[in-house]
Amino acid sequence: MVEPQLHRVTLPNGLRVVLAPDSADGRSAGQAPVVGVSVHYDVGFRSEPEGRTGFAHLFEHLMFQGSESLEKLAHFRHVQGSGGVFNGSTHQDYTDYYQVLPSAALERALFLEADRMRAPKLTEENLRNQVDVVKEEIRLNVLNRPYGGFPWILLPPVLYSTFANAHNGYGDFTDLERATVDDCAAFFDTYYAPGNAVLTIAGDIDVDRTVELVHRHFGDVPAREVPQRPSFGEPCPSGELRGRHADPHAPLPAVALGYRLPDPVGELDAYLANVVLAAIMSDGDASRLQQRLVYQDKLVVDVHAGCGLMGAPLDARDPDTFTVTAVHTPEVGVDRVTAAVDEELERLAADGPAPEELSRVTARWTAGLHREHDRVISRTLDLGSAELLHGRAELISELPARVAEIGAEDVAAAAKALRADSRAVLEIEPAGGSAAAGDEGGAA
């Protein structure tokens, strides 16, 4: 893959724009000329005030319900009618909206995003309808699904103490139902200012023509004051924290371990050492936890380690979370699983990974990153989030080299920092069962 040459523009209203054109040599033979357009707003779950859990995600839904010039469902119709796809997602520290279309439809995508950045249609009818949609989504994805919300909803209240870091970003039904149109308007005015956003355009584009289109459609979006971004930092745990959650749909007990990570922005190389550590621990059948817990000791039926609560590394600012999750049989019990994880971490802290182990996981991680970025939508979204969170969209092109520089001593240091006396342990009790005798736990 040929890395794109990035171009930046900042409009007078504060909107930051990142352009990543594909050269003709950068496209695979026969690849259709397409363009990805995303807008990342600097607001996520952690920005929600108390009493408004789930509001950032609810507002994401409202942004698809019509705008200043377009009726409800028009955004859907215009993108799909152009042969494109679209969606949005809410994360801890940002909300993104995106579409991929044939490059001939670029102006259409820019018009659609600018129109809802200018004025989404915030009505009582749209609000009540989308509250119902979000509640049904929560029922489907969390309340009525085995291991729903595990670990991204259920682990933070055990590991973290502040509302911003610990609350349920999907939302409480009571909070969602209490939302008003005035709340929505205030949220939009506060967080959806152009100066609080990054527009990313990647793919088959001409830079000069694209800059002209961006000015045409976004230039007259009124500038508004940009909120000062708060720090969500809090002290690390001073001891092991325990919680328990009863899941009526889970067939087997499970456990999640949560550890605090180095600052992904201020301590990037230390953070990346944890990314490599997670791959050594659980990526593939040859990984340490798969070999030890699944094949050798037969303690668990599934195990995974990773950086980031939302399933991917570098998806949040500080504080971020290293997680280990495992599903085990009732007779095994939580303490045997955690003890085995601790032993593997201690081995890595003492000896570090073997050279062939380190080269295997870094090569596999790098190949996966290149494979993802061959897709224009993944490349567009990663450029936008890197620009928003790190101030440097170029980071996504630098990651393979930086990960390749992670040495055995860096991984050993990362493993040593994941201490049992500074973590959270969340137990999942299955339907009609409880943790094995001898395991300790408290109420979440």
Contact indicator for 18, 198 with CB cutoff of 8 Å:
yes
- What is the Cα gyration radius of the chain? 23
How buried is 311 (Cβ within 10 angstroms: 0-12 exposed, 13-18 middle, 19+ buried)?
exposed
Which pLDDT value is given to residue 73?
87
Distance between CA atoms of residues 275 and 370, nearest Å: 16
Name the token pair of 233: 């930092």
The residue written with tokens 């019990």 in the block is 333
Say what the pLDDT of residue 25 is.
41
pTM of the model: 0.94
Taking the C-alpha atoms of 52, 57, 62 and 67 in order, what is their torsion angle to the nearest 10 degrees? 110
What are the structural domains, with CATH classification, of the chain?
Answer: 7-218 (3.30.830.10), 241-429 (3.30.830.10)
Look up residue 153 and give its DSSP letter.
T
Q: Mind listing the pLDDT tens digit for each residue in 120-169?
A: 999 999 999 999 999 999 999 999 999 999 999 999 999 999 999 999 99
pLDDT at residue 326, as a whole number = 98
State whether the Cα torsion 72-75-81-87 is positive or negative: negative
Each residue of 170-196: b (16+ CB within 10 Å) or e? bbeeebbeebeeebbeebbeebbbbbb
**CA quadruple 105, 108, 113, 119: dihedral, nearest 10:** -170
Category of 31 on φ-ψ map: left (φ > 0), alpha (ψ -120 to 50) or beta: beta
Reply yes or no on whether the pLDDT at 442 is more than 70. no
> Which of 431, 428, 416 shows the shortest CA–CA distance to 242?
428
Task: Give 382-429 pLDDT, tens digit per residue.
Answer: 999 999 999 999 999 999 999 999 999 999 999 999 999 999 999 999
- Which pLDDT belongs to residue 31? 60
Residues 181-199, mean pLDDT to the nearest whole number: 97
